[in-house]
Amino acid sequence: MSLKHALLGFLSTEPASGFDLAREFGESLGWFWYASHSQIYPELRRLEEQGLVQSTTSTGNPGKQKRTYRLTEAGAAELRSWLEQPTEYAPMRDVERLKLVFLDSAPIDVVRRHLEDHRKHHEDLLAVYSQQLRELHQGVFPRLVKRLASRPASAHPMITGLKVLAMQGNIARARTEIHWAEDALSWLDGMEREGRA
């Protein structure tokens, strides 16, 4: 996935400023893709140069102009083309498990801390994802509300259903990571009891 297509996807719902898009990346697309302000603004300029988005400026706060981007027909076509292509999965990069492989010379409390931190990280994610899933089911999740407002009612079940499926995938992944960390901590307890650690 590229930032380019994530931005085009966001703009397929409604026009937005770079600031609005950065906020959305933190609030909803952050489930799947992170991007900083410093990445978003240059990419929006590139997309405009390529004719995939178009911007207009308006006067906002005194002395400040707000640039709002909207998807062009070429941008919509690019997004459709990307969505229809088979998914190319990124190479695996798992920092926690890489560290775990090489922690064999560390004190057991360091290994335990890594596993407990991993479990806590995914417990926190699970809580956020579970709340967002409830909001999706209730039809009040902000990004869903915006998406539904821009689409015909006949498309609403598919729009909601796909967002629910994506969130259920995140929940399943978080639960798996929690379970793995708990199993790993149990194994570590056994190693400690046997005096092998």
CATH number of the domain residue 17 falls in = 1.10.10.10
The backbone region for 137, taken as left when phi is positive above 0, alpha when psi lies in -120 to 50, beta otherwise, is alpha
Contacts of 75 (CB under 8 A, 6+ apart): 8, 11, 47, 51, 52, 53
What domain range includes position 44? 3-84
Report the predicted TM-score, pTM, of the whole model to 2 decimal places. Answer: 0.80
Return per-residue pLDDT of the chain as tens, 197 residues. Answer: 588 998 999 899 999 998 888 887 766 555 566 777 788 899 999 999 999 999 999 876 666 788 999 999 999 999 999 999 998 887 888 888 999 999 999 999 999 999 999 999 999 999 999 999 999 999 999 889 999 998 999 999 999 999 999 999 999 999 999 999 999 999 999 998 888 65
Backbone φ and ψ for 181, nearest 5 degrees, come out as -65, -40
How many domains does the structure of the chain reveal?
2
Same domain, 173 and 108: yes
In a domain, 90, yes or no: no
Q: Which two tokens stand for residue 57?
A: 């400026």
Whether the Cβ atoms of residue 102 and residue 111 lie closer than 8 Å to each other: no
Whether the Cβ atoms of residue 197 and residue 128 lie closer than 8 Å to each other: no
